Structure 1
Amino acid sequence: MRFLKYSLLAIVALMFIGAATVAGLYYYVKDDLPSVDTLKDVRFLTPMQVYTADGKLMSQFGEQRRIPLTLDEIPQSMIDAILATEDSRFYSHRGVDPIGVMRAFWVMVSTGEMREGASTITMQLARNFFLTRERVWMRKIKEAFIAVHIEQLLTKDEILELYLNKLELGHRAFGVGAAAQVYYGRDIHQLNLSEIATLAGMPQGPSILNPISNPAASVQRRRVVLARMLAENYITREQYDVAYRAPVSARYHVAELELSAPYLAEMVRQEMVDRFGVDDAYNGGYKVYTTVNSEQQLAAEYALRENLHAYDERHGYRGPEMRLWGIDPESLFSDENAQLQKLPDEDTLAIMMQNRGEPWAESDIIEYLERQPRFGRLQHAIVSDVHEKTVDVILRGGMRATLEWHHIDWARRYIDAERQGNAPQSAGEILNSGDHVLVRPVDDGYHLAQMPGPSSAIVALNPNDGALQSIVGGYSFNHSQFNRATQAKRQVGSSIKPFIYAAALERNFTLATLVNDAPITQWNPGSGSAWRPRNSPEVYDGPIRLREALARSKNVVSVRLIRELGVNQTADYMERFGFDPADVQRNESLSLGAASFTPLEMARGFAVFANGGYLVTPYFIDRIEDSDGNIVFQSEPSYACARCAAEAVGVEFTDDDHANEAILSEWNQAPRVISEQVAYLITEALQSAVWGGGSWANQTGWNGTAWRAQALRNRNLAGKTGTTNDVKDTWFVGYTRDIVAATWVGFDNLEFALGRSSLNSNLGRQRQPIVASEAGATTALPGWVTYMETALSQLEERPFELPPNMVSVRIDQPSGRLTNRTDHTSMFEYFIRGTEPKEFANPERRPQEVFEDDDGLF
């Protein structure tokens, strides 16, 4: 009895000491314990996602990949695997598992090492949110106290849901939803038992137990998880056996992007950082919906790349990227070879020195190709064999392909921007075995290619509200992050002329006004030289109507107009179109396009003509949603017309103003900057730039500079080419009622000109339709046409509506006066009421009333 008495007293004493110790420890650490109330309103760090207007994911930004799931969205097999492995008594303890604590204590006493942590799921949650992974007693004590607090605050299901979404599972995957995507590229509901067990085994050591970094360790851990699931009766023996023997199927999966638009995505990223700050923008779980149409965006990217390749192939082949064998490696460092090709890196040079000019082993070729960067659709390849008219190549991953003759016969030697070598007669004149080349996939195989020399940009917007429809700022974002569509201010050449002609129409000039198309020579006493602006081509037609002068881009006519209008007055007028005053040069060279604007600025300026005279503000974000789907930002664009606003919000619009009061009251109207009559007249002239005029049957027909756009077979197209005097910048800006697009092509290095090309006898004019000097019509316009083939297919073909206060009268084409004749010498012309001609043409005296500048320079 005495022994029993003392034993009970000892137990009571130990319990008292234990309780006192726990209480003492609690009061010792309580000031360091964080508040767990924040778990009631947890915001997981979720990446920002960027979507197109039609809901396709184009980019994802964030430090962590996470797909938050509710508990009922997580498969029961995943929950069972986690419970069996991490905390089988989760639903029976109060945050700390006494049995687990005693087991860990016994292991420590028996081995002298702290091998088991006895951490429950709640304790792990406490550590993941509030503590570190440092294996020390004080952290474990804090962990236990926090776990008890969590159990008092949250239900078991809430704790488990937070835990499964918070888990760090390697490769920047947080939570089981993201891990399923990262390791298997599938939704978590699509995983099989072996894959679920693999993920469930990773919380213990995500860096060393994940199936990508350490497949063997991952398999062993997966089998432990399966054994625990079998012991807890979560799976059958048959399921266990199948999953036990399953191979490792994991590999790294990037975010499943449905569309790649990196230049636009970068614009969104910068806007979101400016709006919310870096941390919140990247990790706040925002969904950003842009205004860009996915199909048009793909079309713009395709058009830009194909157009640059067409230019490059006209000008010849600059040779392979590098020779890997068939050459003395040490000779690469001679001055001559260093100028002709890239120098190898250390790994490549080591293999070249080892082989001493002999062909490489296939394993070395594959490893070399894996190291090469990716640029657009270009693929790296190594020439393995050269035949008479074909070339065999090895592609990334060891895949083999043959380049047929019609895919390499373009590759005559590049000499300089103005000259190309003779057309090759055999494949051996172009390539050698061991050449590292670039190819691009085409419908019937692979086409020999090279990284294009010049750069380009395409941007399109809706002229009725400024919403961007597509934007591409260069050939490849990986090659250059510089967005030429929004950042490159380049001289615009003749594409500036519509703004100057608009200023003239505001000053009572008409499309029928005659201006003398004759050479100009002006002596500059200060420089001791003469300024001689020239037409391109250098052809002068004498008196010419403004419609035809703009459509045919007559330079000297533009000079005469700016002299009459005044340089400062013209520059002030141009600022109406949204151009920065600092970019508008105030001298006569402004008439020839000396000003420098970005493609986006040019598209915005031309939108004024397309929408009837309103200056819209370009925008590319339609709305922003938070992680809960709440709209935190909705764009409020300014519209060019009430009908545009109604169509944008899906409201039926009629001509009854009373029925549209609701629309009109909420309508953000863009400012009117020019009259709708002037906008219409400029559009008329720019349609002539596409379709020309006169009578070909009577030998008076003429083409506008944009005649290649006729291939689109759309009578409502209007547009203007642009070429600088030195052919360093080429442009085309064109539009319909519902879209305006600007295309620019030029070298980033302002010292380089686009040059000219001669006929390649291998290709003929059918395969090489553009021969001669590069220009807006031949270099930029073809890319615009390719893009618009897709863009126009998505839009209703609508003519430009004739505005009020306009009249149409029949005029005599040579003189611009009224006529009663109905033959090829006459045409109907539009005028603002009151500006139409009042006198009839005199056939005996043509032309009459030719405009000439004050200096009388004809």
Structure 2
Amino acid sequence: MKYFKPLILLILLGAVLGSATLVGIYFYIKPELPSVTVLKDVRLQTPMRIYTQDGKLISQYGVKRRIPVKLEDVPVELIQAVLATEDSRFYEHNGIDPIGIGRAALSLLVTGEKRQGASTLTMQLARGFFLTREKTYIRKIKEIFIAWHMEQVLTKDEILELYLNKIELGHRSFGFGAAAQVYYGTTLNDLTLAQIATISGLPKAPSVLNPISGPEASVERRKVVLLRMRDEGYITAEQQQQAASAPVTARKHGAEIEVDAPYLADLIYSEMVEIYGKEEAETGGYQVYATATSERQLAAQDAVVRNLHDYDERHGYRGPLGYLWNQPEADEEQTEESAATQQQAQSDDALQRDEADTIPATQDIIDALADVPAYSPLVPVVVTAVAQKQISVLDATGRTRDIPWEGLDWARAYITDNRQGEEPEVASDIVSEGAIVYIREQDGQWRLAQLPQVSGALISLNPQNGAVEAVVGGYSFYESQFNRATQAKRQVGSNIKPFVYSAALENGYTLASIVNDAPINHWDEASGTAWRPQNSPPEYDGPIRMRKALGKSKNVVSVRLLRGVGLEQTVEHIAKFGFNREDIPLDETVSLGSSSHTPLEVVRGFSVIANGGYLVTPHYIDKVLNENNEVLWETEPVWACNPCNDDDESDADADIERLLAEQLDENGSGLPSEPEVKRSAPQVITSQNAFLVAEMMRTAVRANGSWNNKTYWLGTGWRARNLLQRTDIHGKTGTTNDSRDTWFSGFHRDLVTTAWVGFDDMGRQLGRATRNQNLINRNPEKFNWIGNAMIGGEDGAKAAGPAWIRFMQDALDGKPHSPVAVPDDIVRVRIDRTSGKLTRRTDHTTLFEYFLQGTEPTVYVRDDEVVDPASQDDTTTPEPEEIF
């Protein structure tokens, strides 16, 4: 008893001194302690995710990968694993676990080393938000006080939810939702017990215990987690044994991309960075929805890729990337250009072997293919066998495929852009064993392929509000990030003509106006040379109606119209369609498309014609949500309407205020739904002018007249109507000098699209293609009406047109026929086909034509002026007109 009382007093004294010391320390470091109340409204750094309009993930941006999850959505097994391993008494203590602290203190006294931690989940969370990982006593003390504060402010469930979403788990994954995606490519609810135990063991040392960087250490850590779960009674011995012996299935996964549309994603990312700044955009948890749907975006990408391969194949095969064995000797007949092209390809991509006659093992082939770049849809393979009309290939996964003759017979040798070799007769004319080549799948069949050197772009808008429906900036974003749809300023060629014709309509011309389609020879005194613009092909029809001239894309007629209107007035009119005035040259070549514009600018210009004269603003983003799925921002585009409200006399501002007040959401967040009031886009041309230009463009994509009556003629884009089987489309081809740029632009009333094809090297021509008899023999009927058009020089109809057609086929599939509405003040009268005058005849020498009321012809054609094409034997080319 005499020792017991002093002991009690000593303990009490120690407790008082300890408490006083603790209080003193608390008040000493209190000014340094952060306020934990911010955790009530904490905003975790979450990457930006970009979706198509229909909710398919396109891309994710941000260094930290985090997929926030609600506690109620977390599998109970994961919560049990985390608590059993990290803090089994989490729901019993107040943020500080005396038992854990005592155990850590005893270990320190015995070993003299800081081997055991005493951190609870709350303390770990405190360190993650407010402190560092340095092992110092002052940091641990701060951690304890912050944890205690947190327990006063937050509930246990709130703390646990924050922990599950905050903790670092390796490979830039933060939170268990992200870890499930990064390591297993799935969601938390789809994880097995073994996988749950694996990621639950990561908080201790995520960099070395993760199953990718340290699979063996990860397995040992998994066993510890499973043992703790069994000790806590969460799982049975049998479950523990099965999960502990499960194989390691982890591998690194990116974001779960559903639609790979990097050109579109990059545009949206750049816009978000411009609005919010890079750091905020990448960490603010924004969910951005594009204006494009997944269906149309994928259709556009497929159309561009397929079209570039079609062009590339008709110009010949440039040879394998290289050889793993069986390197052939150089062909002495090979031209210098062809040899240089193949040598460059080999030096860039080929994998050469020193022992040319040694066939490597399958695994060596697979390893070698891992170094060959793959750009979807191209698959790198090695040719393992060559039969007479077939080859066998092996890819990087070890899969073997047979490529039939139908996938090889296109591959005649490339010589130059204008020359191709003879058609191959057997497979050995094309490749030999050991060759490294690309293959791709088309229409369910694998075929030999190559990376196209030619480039292309396509962009499509909703002409009513400027929403981008699809955008493709090239063959592959991973091969070139340059977005040709929005960044490449290229000469537009004949794509400019509808805007020149619009200027003519604005200045007294009509669709029936007669213009002389005859050669021009214009002497320029300043340069001492003559300018001789020519039609392409150099054929001339003499006097011709404007409608027909645009449909046949007559160059000299465009020049004459510009002269009739005036150069400066024409240029100012073209600029109304959204083109940068500084990009439009002030000379007569502008009438032939010498100005350079991006496909985005071109498609915006054509949207004015499609929507009745309104200049809409292209935009890519439909709406932006925060991490809680609350709408932060929705686009408010300008619309092709004026007025856009039904009640013309209503006060628009008052209507907007009323609608905003009525449409507040029920929880009072103050976020209104989209108001019904639409803002009007500026009207830059009249609806009548737009309609008449659209009518001429409709003529350009069809066959016109009668073959039997010799009034038959084809618009330059006639294949569009033949393939689309629609009469409510409008289009215009475009080709520049020497076919360096080719275009096809056109629209349906609800969709306007521009396609471009050319080389990034602006000095390189698209060239010519000769007949490939193999393709003719395979399908002579199809070749007669389509394939023949693919022979000869490249132009807008041949090079760019197929991409436009293929996309519009998909985009308009199932849409009912819906022609552009005829606006007020447009009349339709019967005119003479040749003179454009009124006529009383009703035979094939006449046709009905549209006019702005008051501009229709007033003079009737005389009988002696009527020309009956059916009675004409042939036509003669008029002599060149001398203009000085």
Structures share fold, TM-score greater than 0.5:
yes
Q: Do the aligned partners of residues 28 and 733 (structure 1) sit closer, same or farther apart at CA in structure 2, a change above 3 Å counting?
A: same
Structure 1 residue identity aligned to 2:679: N
Confirm whether residue 704 of structure 1 aligns to residue 705 of structure 2.
no
Q: Once structures 1 and 2 are overlaid, which stretch shifts more, 618-627 or 360-369?
A: 360-369
Alpha-carbon contact 1:326-1:357 (below 8 Å) kept:
yes
Confirm whether residue 762 of structure 1 aligns to residue 770 of structure 2.
no
Q: Distance in 2 between matches of 1:539 and 1:418?
A: 23
Residue-pair matches, total:
840
Alpha-carbon contact 1:315-1:756 (below 8 Å) kept:
yes
Alpha-carbon contact 1:642-1:667 (below 8 Å) kept:
no
Two-structure CA RMSD over aligned residues (Å):
2.5
Q: Once structures 1 and 2 are overlaid, which stretch shifts more, 177-186 or 40-49?
A: 177-186
The unaligned stretches of length 5 or more in structure 1 are 647-652
Q: Distance in 2 between matches of 1:697 and 1:344?
A: 56
SS of the aligned residue for 2:132 comes to: coil
Deviation at 1:374, TM superposition (A): 2.7
Q: Once structures 1 and 2 are overlaid, which stretch shifts more, 15-24 or 422-431?
A: 15-24
Give the structure 1 partner of residue 663 of structure 2. Answer: none
Alpha-carbon contact 2:324-2:356 (below 8 Å) kept:
no
Give the structure 1 partner of residue 750 of structure 2. Answer: 738
Q: Distance in 2 between matches of 1:230 and 1:613?
A: 73
Deviation at 1:261, TM superposition (A): 1.1
Give the structure 2 partner of residue 840 of structure 1. Answer: 860
SS of the aligned residue for 2:683 comes to: coil
List per-residue Cα deviations over 1:427-473 (Å, max 9, x = no partner).
11111212111111234431111111111111010111111111101
List per-residue Cα deviations over 1:751-807 (Å, max 9, x = no partner).
100011000111116454410100001111111100000111153321111111121
Give the structure 1 partner of residue 739 of structure 2. Answer: 727
Confirm whether residue 688 of structure 1 aligns to residue 699 of structure 2.
yes
SS of the aligned residue for 1:82 comes to: helix
Give the structure 2 partner of residue 352 of structure 1. Answer: 353
Confirm whether residue 772 of structure 1 aligns to residue 773 of structure 2.
no
The aligned runs of 1:65-464 (5 Å cut-off) are: 65-327=65-327, 340-342=342-344, 352-353=353-354, 355-464=355-464
Deviation at 1:660, TM superposition (A): 12
Alpha-carbon contact 2:323-2:435 (below 8 Å) kept:
yes
Q: Distance in 1 between matches of 2:110 and 2:39?
A: 38
List per-residue Cα deviations over 1:20-78 (Å, max 9, x = no partner).
33234334433332221211111011111111111211111111111212221112211
Alpha-carbon contact 1:466-1:619 (below 8 Å) kept:
yes
Q: Distance in 2 between matches of 1:581 and 1:776?
A: 25
Alpha-carbon contact 2:337-2:415 (below 8 Å) kept:
no
Q: Distance in 2 between matches of 1:593 and 1:551?
A: 16
Q: Do the aligned partners of residues 659 and 278 (structure 1) sit closer, same or farther apart at CA in structure 2, a change above 3 Å counting?
A: closer
Deviation at 1:846, TM superposition (A): 5.7
Deviation at 1:606, TM superposition (A): 0.8
Alpha-carbon contact 2:405-2:427 (below 8 Å) kept:
yes
Give the structure 1 partner of residue 760 of structure 2. Answer: 748
Q: Do the aligned partners of residues 291 and 308 (structure 1) sit closer, same or farther apart at CA in structure 2, a change above 3 Å counting?
A: same
The counterpart of 1:829, out of the listed 849, 857, 870, is 849
Deviation at 1:357, TM superposition (A): 4.5
Deviation at 1:817, TM superposition (A): 0.8
Q: Distance in 2 between matches of 1:202 and 1:833?
A: 78
Q: Do the aligned partners of residues 417 and 328 (structure 1) sit closer, same or farther apart at CA in structure 2, a change above 3 Å counting?
A: closer
Q: Distance in 1 between matches of 2:709 and 2:338?
A: 59
Give the structure 2 partner of residue 791 of structure 1. Answer: 811
Deviation at 1:406, TM superposition (A): 1.0
Deviation at 1:92, TM superposition (A): 1.7
Give the structure 2 partner of residue 650 of structure 1. Answer: none
Alpha-carbon contact 1:456-1:743 (below 8 Å) kept:
yes
Give the structure 2 partner of residue 42 of structure 1. Answer: 42
Q: Distance in 2 between matches of 1:197 and 1:422?
A: 63
Deviation at 1:237, TM superposition (A): 2.3
Confirm whether residue 487 of structure 1 aligns to residue 507 of structure 2.
no
Poorly superposed stretches of 4+, deviation over 6 Å: 328-331, 334-338, 343-349, 656-665
Q: Do the aligned partners of residues 377 and 159 (structure 1) sit closer, same or farther apart at CA in structure 2, a change above 3 Å counting?
A: same
SS of the aligned residue for 1:721 comes to: strand
TM-score, normalising length from structure 1?
0.94
Deviation at 1:601, TM superposition (A): 0.9
Give the structure 1 partner of residue 678 of structure 2. Answer: 667
Q: Distance in 2 between matches of 1:192 and 1:24?
A: 49
Deviation at 1:843, TM superposition (A): 3.0
Q: Once structures 1 and 2 are overlaid, which stretch shifts more, 795-804 or 729-738?
A: 795-804
Q: Once structures 1 and 2 are overlaid, which stretch shifts more, 98-107 or 839-848?
A: 839-848
SS of the aligned residue for 1:14 comes to: helix
Deviation at 1:343, TM superposition (A): 7.4
SS of the aligned residue for 2:520 comes to: coil
Q: Do the aligned partners of residues 105 and 342 (structure 1) sit closer, same or farther apart at CA in structure 2, a change above 3 Å counting?
A: farther
Structure 2 residue identity aligned to 1:752: R
Q: Distance in 1 between matches of 2:536 and 2:700?
A: 15
Q: Do the aligned partners of residues 314 and 336 (structure 1) sit closer, same or farther apart at CA in structure 2, a change above 3 Å counting?
A: closer
Q: Do the aligned partners of residues 347 and 698 (structure 1) sit closer, same or farther apart at CA in structure 2, a change above 3 Å counting?
A: closer
Deviation at 1:346, TM superposition (A): 12
SS of the aligned residue for 2:680 comes to: coil
Q: Distance in 1 between matches of 2:697 and 2:813?
A: 21
Alpha-carbon contact 1:414-1:421 (below 8 Å) kept:
yes
Q: Do the aligned partners of residues 743 and 347 (structure 1) sit closer, same or farther apart at CA in structure 2, a change above 3 Å counting?
A: closer
Deviation at 1:570, TM superposition (A): 0.4
Name the % identity.
51
Structure 2 residue identity aligned to 1:172: R
Structure 2 residue identity aligned to 1:542: G
Deviation at 1:740, TM superposition (A): 0.5
SS of the aligned residue for 2:540 comes to: coil
Alpha-carbon contact 2:438-2:449 (below 8 Å) kept:
yes
Q: Do the aligned partners of residues 371 and 527 (structure 1) sit closer, same or farther apart at CA in structure 2, a change above 3 Å counting?
A: same
Alpha-carbon contact 2:320-2:436 (below 8 Å) kept:
yes
Structure 2 residue identity aligned to 1:111: T
Q: Distance in 1 between matches of 2:349 and 2:368?
A: 9
